[in-house]
Amino acid sequence: MFHNLCNRSPLHLHPEGKDSACIAFAALAVYLWVLPTGGTIALRNLAFAGLIFITLWSAWRYKLRLHFPLAWPWLAYSLIAVVSLSYAANPLLSLGEIKHEIGYGILILMLMATWVRNRRALEFVLAAIILGDIFLVGASLFKVTEADPFWRHPLAEINALLHEGPGKDIYNGAGNFSTYLVTVMPFMAAYTFFQPSNRLWVRNSLTILLLLNVITIFLTGNRMGLMVLVAETLFAVAFLAITRSNISGRRMLIFPVIALTLIGGLGWTQFQLRPPVDDPRWPIWAWGVKDLFAAPLTGSGFGRTTLCTYDPAFCTTFQLEHAHNMILNKGVQMGFPGIIAFLLLLATTLHALWPRRSLAADTRLWGYALAATTMCVGVFLKNMTDDFFISHNALLFWALVGAVSGAIAGEQEHAEPSHP
C-alpha cells in the first residue's frame, strides 16, 4: 500500500520525486500516530518539521503545488486575532497562542491538503490515526485493569479511574481524551463500514475497537462525550436516510441501533454516577458573558488563558482559566468580531466537507466526507460545555479537514477532462 501511495502522490509526474513523496508520507504517518499521545512532543515536532522541509523541497525541486483550502475565512480569523494584540491584556502570551493555534493550524491544514489528493492517501491517513487510537485506548484500559477495579471496586470508582485516577495522565485529562475520541470515531466507523467482505477479520477487529472506544469514553467520566456520540450517530443516520444513499438499508440500521443502545445505556449510567446537579457552568458562563460585554468589540486578547490576566477575580472565584465554552471564549478574547470570524470559519469548513452528489461516483469518498461533517458537528457540540479546541485536539481536527478536503479536490481534478 505504501509503495503504491508513493507512486500515486502529487509528484506522480516526476518519477525522481518518488523518494520525496515516500519521506513525506512517512513523516505524516508518524506525526498523526504520536500527535495525541502524551510525552511525544520531541518526536511530534521532528516529524512536523521534517514534513514542512520535504514539502518546501518538493515545491522548489519538483514544482509541487501547495494547497490552502478555506483560505479566506482563515485569513479573516487570523486578521482579527492579530488586531486583538493591540488590545491584549498580555500581548506576548497572545502572540504565542496565535502562533500555536493559528500558525500551526494553517500549516497542518495546508500540508495535509497538499499531500492527500486521493482516496488511497486519505485511507492511509486514517490507518495511521487508527494505529494511534489503538495505542491510546489500549494504554488507557491497561491502566484501568492494572488497578484491578472490575471485581473489587464499585462502578463509581471504575468510572473515575480515567477522570481523576491512574489513567488521567495518558491524554491530559478526561475532557481532552473524550474530545479526541469523538473526533476520530466517525472516521473509524466509516473506515470499518467500507472494509470489503474478503477482509471480514479487519472489519470485526475494528468493530471491537469502536466498542472499546465507547467503553473508554465511559471510563473517562465525561458525560458530554457520550452525549456527543449519540448526536454524531443520529446525525449520520439521519443524513443517510434523507439522502437515500446506495448503502444497504440493513447495514445502515443495524449498527446505529446497536451503537445507540450501548451508548444510551452507558450515558444513563454515567448520569446516575455523576448527576448534573449544582453544575458550576451556569455562573461561569454568566461571568464570561459579563466580561464579553465589558469589551464587546475588542476582547482581552487571543488565547484561552488570557481571561485570568484580564479578570483575575474570575480565576480566583472559580479556580479555572477560561469560560468553559468555545464560542464564549472566542468572544472574551476577540469580542463579537472574533465570534463571527470563528463561526464563519467553522461554517465554511462544514460547507466544504459536505457530502455532495458530485462525490456519489465514489461511495467511499462520499462516506468519508460524511464522517468529516459528523466530526465537525461532534467537535462543535463537545466544546459547548468546555473548550478543548486547542493544541493537539485542534491540530488533529485541522489535519483531518485538510486530508478530506484535499482528497475531494484531488479526485475532482482527476475526474475533470483535460482541455487542449
Phi, psi of 278 (to 5 degrees): 55, 40
Q: What amino acid occupies position 385?
A: T
Based on the fold, state whether residues 278 and 313 are members of the same structural domain: yes
Among residues 1, 179, 112, the alpha carbon closest in space to that of 407 is found at 112
pLDDT digits (tens, 9 = 90+) for 349-377: 999 999 987 676 678 999 999 999 999 99
Q: Confirm whether 8 is domain-assigned.
A: yes
> What nine digits make up the cell of 414?
482527476
Q: How far apart are CA 321 and CA 305, in angstroms?
A: 5
Cβ contact 233:260 at 8 Å: yes
Last residue within a domain, chosen from 66, 93, 120: 66
Residues 6+ apart with CB under 8 A from 326: 380, 383, 384, 386, 387, 389
| Residue % of the chain over a pLDDT of 90 | 49
Based on the fold, state whether residues 158 and 27 are members of the same structural domain: no
Q: Confirm whether 150 is domain-assigned.
A: yes
Coil, helix or strand at residue 161: coil
> What letter would DSSP give residue 147?
T
Q: What is the structure's pLDDT at 419?
A: 41
Among residues 224, 212, 69, the alpha carbon closest in space to that of 134 is found at 212
Q: How far apart are CA 258 and CA 239, in angstroms?
A: 18
Based on the fold, state whether residues 145 and 188 are members of the same structural domain: yes
> In the predicted model, is pLDDT for residue 45 greater than 90?
yes
Among residues 154, 162, 157, 138, the alpha carbon closest in space to that of 213 is found at 138
Q: How far apart are CA 315 and CA 313, in angstroms?
A: 6
Based on the fold, state whether residues 209 and 184 are members of the same structural domain: yes
Based on the fold, state whether residues 168 and 296 are members of the same structural domain: yes
pLDDT digits (tens, 9 = 90+) for 326-353: 999 999 999 999 999 999 999 999 999 9
Instruction: Find the domain containing 16 and state its range.
Output: 1-66
Based on the fold, state whether residues 53 and 133 are members of the same structural domain: no
Q: What stretches of 147-248 show up as alpha helix (H) in DSSP?
A: 155-159, 174-193, 200-220, 223-243
pLDDT digits (tens, 9 = 90+) for 301-332: 999 888 888 889 988 888 888 899 999 999 99
Question: How many domains, the chain?
Answer: 2
pLDDT digits (tens, 9 = 90+) for 194-212: 988 788 889 999 999 999 9
| Residue % of the chain over a pLDDT of 70 | 82
Last residue within a domain, chosen from 66, 82, 99: 66
Based on the fold, state whether residues 45 and 99 are members of the same structural domain: no
Among residues 295, 347, 317, 315, the alpha carbon closest in space to that of 77 is found at 347
Q: What is the structure's pLDDT at 344?
A: 97
> What nine digits make up the cell of 278?
449544582
Place of cell 467511499: 364
Last residue within a domain, chosen from 33, 66, 99: 66
Q: What is the structure's pLDDT at 122?
A: 96
Phi, psi of 356 (to 5 degrees): -105, 165
> In the predicted model, is pLDDT for residue 159 greater than 70?
no
pLDDT digits (tens, 9 = 90+) for 257-301: 667 676 777 666 666 666 666 677 889 999 999 999 998 998 899
Based on the fold, state whether residues 47 and 135 are members of the same structural domain: no
Q: Confirm whether 420 is domain-assigned.
A: no
Based on the fold, state whether residues 323 and 238 are members of the same structural domain: yes
> What nine digits make up the cell of 327?
464560542
> In the predicted model, is pLDDT for residue 155 greater than 70?
no
Based on the fold, state whether residues 285 and 362 are members of the same structural domain: yes
Cβ contact 307:291 at 8 Å: yes
pLDDT digits (tens, 9 = 90+) for 209-257: 999 998 888 887 778 888 888 889 888 888 887 776 555 555 556 666 6
Q: How far apart are CA 348 and CA 369, in angstroms?
A: 14
Q: What amino acid occupies position 229?
A: L
Q: What is the structure's pLDDT at 12?
A: 65
Q: What is the structure's pLDDT at 418?
A: 45
